[in-house]
Amino acid sequence: MSTVNCPECEAEITFAEGTEAGEIIVCPDCGVDLEVTAIEPAAVQLAPMEQEDWGE
């Protein structure tokens, strides 16, 4: 099981099964949005801030 520390609050985060690179997860401790940048070894970074032209 891949684990990583939150870059904001250092909480230990375990990836759920089926987590993919590029996915956004939420730190269960501080609630910040994180982007999964790699699965093995596990890596995350703060997710980019929402831009004005984002949407569907």
Partner 1 sequence: MQRRLKIGVLYSRVRVEEKWIFGAMEKRGIDYDRLDDRAISFDLEKPEAWQQYDAVLERSISYNSGLYALRLLNAFGVPTVNTAAVAEVCGDKLMTSAVLARDGVPQPHNVTAFSTEAALEAIEAFGYPVVLKPVVGSWGRLLAKINDRDAAEAVLEHKSTLGSVQHSVFYIQEFIEKPGRDLRIIMIGDKVLTGMYRSSEHWITNTARGGSGELCPITSEIEDICLRASKAVGGGLLGVDLVEHPEKGLVVNEINHTMEFHTMQPVSGLDIAGEIVEYVVKTARTLAPHASAGVKDEL
Cα separation of 30 and 40, whole Å? Answer: 24
- Cβ proximity of 36 and 43 under 8 Å: yes
Cα separation of 38 and 43, whole Å? Answer: 5
Q: Please, what is the minimum distance in Å from the beta carbon of residue 23 to partner 1? A: 4
Cα separation of 20 and 46, whole Å? Answer: 16
The footprint of partner 1 on residues 21-40 (CB under 8 A) is 21-24, 35-36
Q: Of 10 and 46, which has the nearer Cβ to partner 1? A: 46
Q: Please, what is the minimum distance in Å from the beta carbon of residue 27 to partner 1? A: 16
Q: Which residues bind partner 1 (CB under 8 A)?
A: 18, 20-24, 35-36, 47, 51-56
